[in-house]
């Protein structure tokens, strides 16, 4: 790992003292540093988005104190701050895991132009916004299979950070196109509408592109479950999938089932694989301060952990890492004004155990029928609450669409003595969990970027070499003497034009292709346009095509 840090120093870290302090926090269960001896073929990275210690404590008590599958792997803590903020959002947090570099809030796998946190070195101005190659992209180039499994929509921040590059995490259409052209072998989760030409604003037929390139594309779990090939996009909801407590009526697979399928497909590659699995909606339940949603999603994630861990323990070539990206909600068991002596386990769990739907699930059941009587009936049946006040009934009646989990979350939290300090992310360390077949694991307090360094070390990936000359900007091409212009006449399809002699090379954004007349060439990496900076980045092997 030292080589990785020495190389990074030349790009980001300006203080040798800071570098030494960072390295000093990273210790291993074994002192042997023989790279080959500790290498594995496969890495399974699991991200329970927004999961805190309070979340796992509540989930453990929900199942009568029985340990979670992830408990045996706890080995340290992770610092989560972004390049410009002590409290990260999911985009830079996932970027740190995906690339080994910190970026600023809202950015996905590009270098920041704003750095204000201690220990994060400034980036050279010419590299502002430049895409950073991810561990998934590098693994793919080395012949490994790659996969993403999640319950959110696939262009959402965490999966997006591993296979796209942008300064706007909310630009789902561009992100989706980049992810499609990044040739990921297995994609399972939600978000079909982002590849459907009839629902995309630019009418791009990404489903057609995938099928033309050998992918099985489906929205049906039964068909996906029975698929025996090696390339699949299974998107089982138009947008995000349901919470686990609510999914059965929707016919959606669980995170554990999708994990099992992904491992079955990816393990066919003798060169190994990289798989990222996200428990996406732990975070959303926390934003809503909804303890029922928290239990639903933590337990669903833990079942996926068991699948991954059983797979890894059945062989000698697979490591598993579980790394929350940040805390969320400031959840506590116990709240202000309530004596600890008055909080018994049954009072803490009574209503949470009675709940068979999350707040969003109850919202679906209520529909437009929000009469007093129907509210009382539904809340009693699915939450076990028979003493709703008129104020609470009125709050349920007036809850905006998609926000009933926030309203019901408050009611359950109050009755369960659960406190919340925020409906946003918070900045404390998160728990690190790790499994390695030879027990070569990180320990202590580490930085989120070091998780990527560790994965690259055990996979034998030199991510620095991929990043050193991966991309050129339009400005750098001009400096090399090329006649370059950006065509933004069609805002949904920005293009870089390179003129050389009587030839014009057209490079569309978000794709990995170059068009010259009737000829089409493939690039190593997808092309990226950053509107706010008017910068267009293209894979550096463009020089081999236009020479």
Structural domain containing residue 98: 2-30+40-185+264-331+423-468
272 near 42, Cβ under 8 Å?
A: yes
**pLDDT score recorded for residue 24:** 40
List per-block mean pLDDT (blocks of 10 residues) for the chain, which spans 547 residues.
40 39 43 70 98 98 97 98 97 98 97 94 93 98 98 98 97 98 98 98 97 98 97 98 92 97 98 98 97 98 98 98 98 94 92 95 95 97 95 96 96 96 97 98 98 98 93 96 95 94 96 96 97 95 94
Determine which helix (DSSP H) or strand (DSSP E) holds 322, and give its type and residue range: strand 318-322
Pairing of strands 318-322, 535-539: unpaired
What are the backbone dihedrals phi and psi of residue 327, each rounded to the nearest 5 degrees, phi first? -85, 165
- Residue 217 within any structural domain of the chain: no
Residue 215 CA to chain centroid, in angstroms?
Answer: 22
Asked if residue 151 and residue 53 are part of one domain, the reply reads: yes
Asked if residue 397 and residue 270 are part of one domain, the reply reads: no
Asked if residue 276 and residue 395 are part of one domain, the reply reads: no
- Residue 540 within any structural domain of the chain: yes
Boundary of a domain, candidates 405, 434, 468: 468
**pLDDT score recorded for residue 6:** 34
Identify the burial level of 194 via C-beta atoms within 10 angstroms of its C-beta, where 0-12 means exposed, 13-18 middle and 19 or more buried: buried
Asked if residue 54 and residue 17 are part of one domain, the reply reads: yes
Asked if residue 77 and residue 45 are part of one domain, the reply reads: yes
Asked if residue 429 and residue 541 are part of one domain, the reply reads: no
- Residue 373 within any structural domain of the chain: yes
**525 vs 164: CA distance, rounded Å:** 10
Asked if residue 110 and residue 135 are part of one domain, the reply reads: yes
- Residue 79 within any structural domain of the chain: yes
Q: Is 90 a catalytic residue?
A: yes
DSSP strands (E only) in 213-259: 216-218, 232-235
Closest CA to 331 of 79, 52, 90: 52
232 near 215, Cβ under 8 Å?
A: yes
Asked if residue 161 and residue 60 are part of one domain, the reply reads: yes
506 near 514, Cβ under 8 Å?
A: yes
Asked if residue 538 and residue 394 are part of one domain, the reply reads: no
- Reading the block at residue 404, the tokens are 């009933």
**pLDDT score recorded for residue 547:** 84
| Structural domains counted in the chain | 3
- Catalytic site residue from 90, 145, 254, 473: 90
- Residue 346 within any structural domain of the chain: no
Residue 488 is part of a domain; what is its CATH number? Answer: 3.30.457.10
Closest CA to 358 of 262, 279, 248: 248
- Residue 428 within any structural domain of the chain: yes
Asked if residue 431 and residue 413 are part of one domain, the reply reads: no
Pairing of strands 145-153, 332-333: unpaired
Asked if residue 365 and residue 305 are part of one domain, the reply reads: no
60 near 67, Cβ under 8 Å?
A: yes
**pLDDT score recorded for residue 400:** 95
**pLDDT score recorded for residue 46:** 98
Asked if residue 539 and residue 429 are part of one domain, the reply reads: no
- What does 361-423 look like in DSSP terms, one character per residue? HHHHHHTT---HHHHHHHHHHHH------HHHHHHHHHPPTT-HHHHHHHHHHHHHTEE-S-S
Which three-class secondary structure state does DSSP give residue 89? Answer: coil
> How confident is the model over 469-484, as pLDDT tens digits?
999 999 999 999 999 9
Boundary of a domain, candidates 437, 468, 499: 468
- Residue 441 within any structural domain of the chain: yes
- Residue 343 within any structural domain of the chain: no
């Amino acid at each position: 790992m030292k080589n990785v840090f020495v190389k990074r120093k030349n790009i980001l870290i300006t203080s040798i003292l800071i570098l030494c302090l960072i390295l000093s926090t990273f210790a291993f269960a074994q002192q042997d540093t023989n790279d080959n001896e500790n290498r594995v073929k496969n890495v399974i990275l699991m991200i329970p988005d927004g999961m805190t210690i309070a979340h796992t404590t509540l989930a453990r008590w929900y199942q009568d104190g029985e340990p979670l599958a992830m408990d045996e792997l706890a080995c340290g803590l992770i610092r989560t701050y972004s390049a410009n903020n002590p409290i990260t959002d999911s985009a830079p947090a996932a970027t740190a895991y995906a690339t080994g570099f910190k970026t600023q809030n809202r950015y996905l796998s590009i270098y920041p132009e704003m750095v204000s946190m201690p220990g994060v070195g400034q980036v050279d101005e010419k590299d502002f916004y430049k895409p950073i190659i991810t561990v998934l992209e590098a693994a793919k180039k080395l012949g490994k299979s790659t996969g993403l499994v999640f319950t959110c929509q696939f262009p959402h921040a965490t999966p997006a950070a591993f296979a796209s590059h942008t300064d706007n995490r909310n630009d789902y259409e561009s992100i989706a196109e980049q992810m499609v052209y990044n040739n990921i072998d297995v994609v399972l989760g939600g978000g079909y509408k982002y590849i459907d030409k009839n629902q995309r604003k630019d009418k791009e037929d990404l489903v057609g592109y995938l099928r033309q390139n050998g992918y099985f594309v489906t929205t049906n779990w039964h068909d996906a479950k029975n698929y025996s090939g090696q390339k699949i996009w299974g998107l089982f909801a138009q947008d995000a999938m349901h919470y686990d407590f609510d999914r059965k009526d929707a016919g959606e697979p669980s995170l554990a089932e999708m994990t099992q399928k992904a491992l079955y497909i990816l393990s066919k590659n003798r060169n190994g694989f990289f798989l990222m699995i996200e428990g996406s909606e732990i975070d959303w339940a926390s934003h809503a301060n909804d303890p029922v949603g928290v239990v639903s999603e933590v337990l669903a994630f833990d079942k996926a952990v068991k699948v991954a861990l059983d797979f890894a323990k059945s062989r000698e070539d697979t490591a598993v890492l579980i790394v929350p990206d940040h805390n969320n909600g400031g959840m506590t068991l116990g709240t202000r004004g309530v004596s600890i002596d008055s909080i018994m386990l049954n009072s803490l769990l009574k209503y949470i155990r009675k709940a068979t739907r999350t707040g969003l699930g109850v919202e679906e059941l209520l529909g437009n029928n929000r009469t007093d009587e129907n509210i009382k009936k539904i809340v009693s049946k699915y939450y076990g609450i028979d003493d709703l006040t008129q104020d609470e009934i009125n709050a349920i009646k007036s809850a905006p669409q998609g926000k009933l989990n926030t309203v019901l979350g408050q009611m359950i939290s109050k009755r369960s003595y659960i406190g919340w300090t925020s409906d946003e992310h918070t900045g404390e360390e998160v728990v690190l969990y790790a499994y390695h077949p030879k027990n070569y694991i990180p320990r202590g307090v580490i930085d989120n970027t070091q998780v990527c360094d560790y994965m690259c070390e055990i996979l034998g990936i030199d991510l620095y070499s991929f990043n050193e000359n991966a991309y050129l900007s339009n400005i750098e091409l001009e400096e090399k003497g090329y006649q370059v212009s950006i065509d933004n006449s069609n805002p949904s399809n920005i293009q870089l034009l390179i003129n050389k002699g009587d030839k014009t090379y057209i490079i569309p954004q978000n794709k990995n292709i170059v068009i010259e007349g009737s000829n089409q060439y493939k690039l190593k990496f997808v092309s990226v346009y950053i509107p706010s900076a008017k910068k267009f980045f293209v894979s550096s092997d463009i020089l081999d095509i236009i020479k």
